[in-house]
Amino acid sequence: MPIPPTLTWLPPPDGPAVRMIDQTRLPGELVLLNCRTIDQLCVAIVRLSVRGAPAIGCAAGLGLALAAYLSESKDVEHLLDELRQAQAALAATRPTAVNLFWALERVMGVAEAAAPAGIEALRDRVLAEAQAIVAEDLETCMAIGRHGAPLLPDEGNVLTHCNAGALACAGYGTAEGVMRAAVATGKKLHIWADETRPLLQGARLTAWELMQEGIPVTVICDNMAGALMAQGRVDCVLVGADRIAANGDVANKIGTYSVAVLARAHGIPFYVAAPLSTLDRATPTGAQIRIEERPGEEISLVAGRLREPITPAGAQIYNPAFDVTPAELVTAIITEVGVFRAPYGEW
Amino acid sequence: MPIPPTLTWLPPPDGPAVRMIDQTRLPGELVLLNCRTIDQLCVAIVRLSVRGAPAIGCAAGLGLALAAYLSESKDVEHLLDELRQAQAALAATRPTAVNLFWALERVMGVAEAAAPAGIEALRDRVLAEAQAIVAEDLETCMAIGRHGAPLLPDEGNVLTHCNAGALACAGYGTAEGVMRAAVATGKKLHIWADETRPLLQGARLTAWELMQEGIPVTVICDNMAGALMAQGRVDCVLVGADRIAANGDVANKIGTYSVAVLARAHGIPFYVAAPLSTLDRATPTGAQIRIEERPGEEISLVAGRLREPITPAGAQIYNPAFDVTPAELVTAIITEVGVFRAPYGEW
């Protein structure tokens, strides 16, 4: 079954709204959520109704279009102020994925350039730019797929962590896009999907999306990856990224670093697939990437699915959302313009 | 608050029964479960109401006493047959922990030796031997604690996986026993408890038991251990074992191997604490240890706590309960007779 678009613009009269798959409801239910205000959109991003670095970028861009359409301002300067407020609110939702800031700056640049042309033109151009980000993201993912597919084995097992699939992007996916492209060229792949605690994006989203596509997938707990590698049952690791520092250090979902260390210890290639919009040239190394820390209840209440916590009352819990994999553990980074390997000076 | 005994013998008239803390109910409720038949006891072991290699050994020993007390046989040979049936049923519950087979053989040996003395004497000696196993296990854990405590830092962070605590033994614990002993000598420890998917023994049991003892503990997801090590926030790893091969390879809860690889990659000591009853001299290396595979629902229904699975309907799931850490990744094995390091020829 084809997967609906992760994010779309819902125009008036039904909108304006940013319409998205509510990923917190998957895999039980496929529900579309209409965010009709910036507040609703911010909540959707914080709650991870939409998640994945490229998809967050698309959501932020569409968010500025939403702010422009919601505005009743008659004055371009005032409208720009409203857009800047929306930008600030959206930028405050999550700190690690750089695509969020990249998309906001890109659309705000267009808004400022369009200001002399008046309110109507500004609004149109903001929406067009946001929609361009969405369309480009889809094309980018397909290009990442084309560049990455040759790296995967003709037949074998690929381990992935979290979800870097259609649901993490406008569609198609980065890491999962490479899997899709490889399968489309006739490669016979089986995917090991780390469940990805605490929020279970692997068990919920990666498994769902690969099953929709008919790509064989088996869910494991995160702590099983090493044992599978020791048994020779993992041919390569392929993950996405939330931010890539200039030196090639990769911030991605918590647990990615452990998988990278395990892959190195077993001589297994570790690939990262990400659009260039995830590359943060202003951040020299991973040490400067701010790592979001999220509430302990995500762990103790199992992504909101329990009423009674799994931990004792009053237990201390630590819940960092991301970690940094140093460039030296990354075999290659697959982008829409090609495959990069260390040293990453020239990109 | 002191923790009640993990397992006790409940004599007539309230018994005969094997009484245990029902560990599936922790940390929400502290419930004592009376197993009045061998079937009930087997179910309790399979369901992990009692778990942990030493505790399973104690349960099996007490199980043979239960079989002896339940028997209405007037004939010693017939009673021995009933005990052998109980032994077979108990031995079939779980394949990996060697203490199960060790305890069954030890008690059956006593039963066979006592046969000439008649039914009453046989029954008494079987119970005495089972109770001796329980009492020795507690002493053994305390000796492990004394031998292991000097290995821990005077002040620092210890990471553990699963539960090798009082709840995994007759009391006190193996890995957690070393922590207890170290704290008792004035060491200031903070414990990182891997939650230990799928059945969450770390989040549920290790956190509960250390909090009862007032030892500072923080729960993390299994996939966070590597990031903590990279930050320099883990001074050593300390775990239990379900079976140790003659060459020092260690079978323990799934995920232990990944932690061992991570510890090695970060230059962090990796200690195993276990009684000699966990050492299986008949098994040359870890490759010969049978690894239990358990139902996928333990993962998808989060240890029975959910009605709706976290995975899509029909998803493939792989759920091995243990993995093998090769001896070369183990810094030392702490036993009741002292600390062993590779090569393990002379133990």
How far apart CA B50 and CA B215 sit, in angstroms, is 23
Closest by CA to B253, choosing from B309, B298, B214, B311, is B298
Which pair of tokens denotes residue B250? 């260690």
Q: Which residues of B touch A222 (CB under 8 A)?
A: 197, 221-223, 255
- Contact across the interface for A223 and B194, Cβ inside 8 Å: yes
Task: State the pLDDT at residue B345.
Answer: 74
CB distance A171 to A138 below 8 Å: yes
Tens of pLDDT, residues A189-217: 999 999 999 999 999 999 999 999 999 99
Distance from CA of A97 to the nearest CA of B (A): 18
pLDDT band at A76 (very low <50, low <70, confident <90, very high): very high
Active site residue B194: no
- Contact across the interface for A318 and B203, Cβ inside 8 Å: no
pLDDT beyond 80 at A296:
yes
Residue B216 has φ and ψ, to the nearest 5°, of -60, 130
CB distance B259 to B288 below 8 Å: no
pLDDT beyond 80 at B254:
yes
Tens of pLDDT, residues B75-133: 999 999 999 999 999 999 999 889 999 999 999 999 999 999 999 999 999 999 999 99
Sort A84 into a burial class: Cβ within 10 Å, 0-12 / 13-18 / 19+: middle
Q: What is the mean pLDDT of residues B162-173?
A: 97
Task: State the pLDDT at residue A347.
Answer: 77
Helical pair B76-91 and B98-114, crossing angle rounded to 10 deg: 180
How far apart CA B336 and CA B320 sit, in angstroms, is 29
Closest by CA to A289, choosing from A256, A263, A317, A264, is A256
Distances (CA, A) of A333 to A134, A152, A266, A346, B13: 22, 13, 19, 13, 70
Task: State the pLDDT at residue A182.
Answer: 98
Q: Which residues of B touch A217 (CB under 8 A)?
A: 315-316
Tens of pLDDT, residues B47-73: 999 999 999 999 999 999 999 999 999
Mean pLDDT value across chain B: 97
Which residue type, as a one-letter code, is found at position A311? Answer: T
Lowest mean pLDDT among A1-15, A101-115, B247-261: A1-15
Task: State the pLDDT at residue A281.
Answer: 94
Distance from CA of B323 to the nearest CA of A (A): 6
Q: What is the mean pLDDT of residues B184-197?
A: 98
Task: State the pLDDT at residue B14.
Answer: 96
Domain ranges of chain B: 7-143, 149-340
Catalytic residue among B242, B249, B280, B323: B242
Which pair of tokens denotes residue B172? 């006190």
CB distance A55 to A6 below 8 Å: yes
Tens of pLDDT, residues B273-298: 999 999 999 999 999 999 999 999 99
Q: Which residues of A touch B255 (CB under 8 A)?
A: 221-224, 226-227
A149-340 — its CATH code? 3.40.50.10470
Query: How many other CB atoms are found less than 10 A from the CB of residue B291?
Result: 18
- Contact across the interface for B219 and A254, Cβ inside 8 Å: no
In this structure, the strands spanning B7-10 and B332-335 are unpaired
A7-143 — its CATH code? 1.20.120.420
Q: What percent of chain A has pLDDT over 70?
A: 100
Q: What is the mean pLDDT of residues A180-184?
A: 98
Task: State the pLDDT at residue B135.
Answer: 97
pLDDT beyond 80 at A131:
yes
Tens of pLDDT, residues A323-336: 999 999 999 999 99
pLDDT beyond 90 at B346:
no
Mean pLDDT value across chain A: 96
pLDDT beyond 80 at A163:
yes
Identical fold, A7-143 and A149-340: no
Task: State the pLDDT at residue B97.
Answer: 85
- Contact across the interface for B310 and A203, Cβ inside 8 Å: yes
ipTM for the whole complex: 0.95
- Give ∠ CA A251-A325-A267 in degrees, rounded to 5: 140
Closest by CA to A63, choosing from A100, A32, A23, is A100
Q: What is the mean pLDDT of residues A40-51?
A: 97
Q: Which residues of A are catalytic?
A: 242
What three-state secondary structure class fits B181?
A: helix
Q: Is the preceding omega at residue A326 within 30 degrees of 0, hence cis?
A: no
Closest by CA to A99, choosing from A65, A137, A46, A44, is A137
Task: State the pLDDT at residue A2.
Answer: 79
How far apart CA B21 and CA B84 sit, in angstroms, is 26
Task: State the pLDDT at residue B347.
Answer: 77
